[in-house]
A = this chain, B = another copy of it.
Amino acid sequence: MANLGFIGLGIMGKPMAGHLIKGGHTLFLKSRRSVPEELLAAGGKSCATAKDVAQKADVIFLCVPDTPDVDLVLFGKDGVAEGLAPGKIVVDCSTISAQATQGFAKKIEEKGCTFLDAPISGGETGAKNATLVFMAGGPEASFETVKPYFQLMGKTIVRIGENGAGQICKSANQIVVALNIEAVAEALVFAAKAGADPAKVREALMGGAGASRILELHGERMIKRTFNPGFRIELHQKDLNLVLQNAKALKVALPNTANCQELFNSAAAHGDSLLDHSALVKVLERLANHEVAKG
């Protein structure tokens, strides 16, 4: 059984850390707010600083909101870097910039340690049910060491390549998810305004080439009007912003992703930033002046 650290115990981090404790490991915990009672009751140990976590744990997981947060936790005062000793592994499960990730990895390696970017997909449900996808970038040996811990928290664990490749894969994921939501929204608004029952259209499309996780889950949300998050529009905007900045740097044209980001801007204009990203359908509905009927 290993000494593991977990920094960032929010919607995702809390259940993830819980699975590691249930797996029999000793967890050293730190969060912006106080460590949840539940995790302490299960045996988790609260630490005063990220440095403290890094001193006590051999593998340190991070799950925080954005690039500057990772920077601060790793390299700020009393941060992870100050507590590291050679041989330790830092695993960042946040969704952040691939370029920044490569810089962070280099600085961690200078301490004689290794770094994995391992952003996740699957949302709160995936975190709770331990069915997350881990898209990892970094040294293969470190990946193999950490894999058994990933397996306690997820079910699809793929090493994409070197540092940064995990974040690139997460960007690809966010492109597909956004565009599949937009696709289902266009199809259901079209069908509804033409007088067809959107619930039956969804059922038929699930039998063929149009079948997708998004049609299944978010299509149902659009029909039943259940727009409580889930994954908030403002977070998907943040992720597409990363994607589009990166696409500019890489010289890759992403016409429908760019368009989709504009449609999210319209969702925000109508006060829907905090709704689930399936509420993108409301933008298409306003454009068509017609609401997808309740299924």
Question: A208-227, CB under 8 A of B: which get 1 and which 0?
Answer: 11111111010000000000
CA distance A177 to B166 in the complex (A): 27
CB distance from A61 to the nearest CB of B (A): 18
Chain B residues, CB < 8 A from A135: 201, 204
Q: Which of B172, B196, B206, B284 contacts A168 (CB 8 A)?
A: B196
Is A58 an interface residue when CB atoms closer than 8 A count as contact?
A: no
Asked whether B159 lies within 8 Å of A252 as measured between CB atoms, the reply is: no
From A219, which residue of chain B is reached at the shortest CB distance? B176
CB distance from A281 to the nearest CB of B (A): 13
Given A196-B169, A252-B189, A210-B289 contact (CB < 8 Å): no
Q: Which of B165, B191, B207 contacts A155 (CB 8 A)?
A: B207
Is A66 an interface residue when CB atoms closer than 8 A count as contact?
A: no
Question: A156-168, CB under 8 A of B: which get 1 and which 0?
Answer: 1011110011001
CA distance A251 to B214 in the complex (A): 25
CB distance from A63 to the nearest CB of B (A): 16
Is A92 an interface residue when CB atoms closer than 8 A count as contact?
A: no
CA distance A211 to B250 in the complex (A): 25
CA distance A180 to B206 in the complex (A): 13
Asked whether A195 lies within 8 Å of B161 as measured between CB atoms, the reply is: yes
User: Which stretch in A30-38, A44-52, A72-80, A254-262 binds the other chain?
Assistant: A254-262
Asked whether B173 lies within 8 Å of A254 as measured between CB atoms, the reply is: no
Chain B residues, CB < 8 A from A257: 186
CA distance A247 to B284 in the complex (A): 12
Question: A166-207, CB under 8 A of B: which get 1 and which 0?
Answer: 001101110111011011101111110111110011011111
Please give the residue numbers on chain A whose beta carbons come within 8 Å of chain B beta carbons, in ascending order: 98, 121-123, 126, 133, 135, 155-156, 158-161, 164-165, 168-169, 171-173, 175-177, 179-180, 182-184, 186-191, 193-197, 200-201, 203-215, 217, 243, 246-247, 250-257, 259-260, 263, 284, 287-290
- Can you add 16 more A-B contacts, CB < 8 Å, to A183-B256, A194-B252, A255-B287? A121-B209, A121-B210, A135-B204, A160-B197, A160-B201, A160-B204, A164-B195, A168-B195, A168-B196, A169-B200, A171-B194, A172-B201, A173-B204, A175-B183, A177-B209, A190-B247
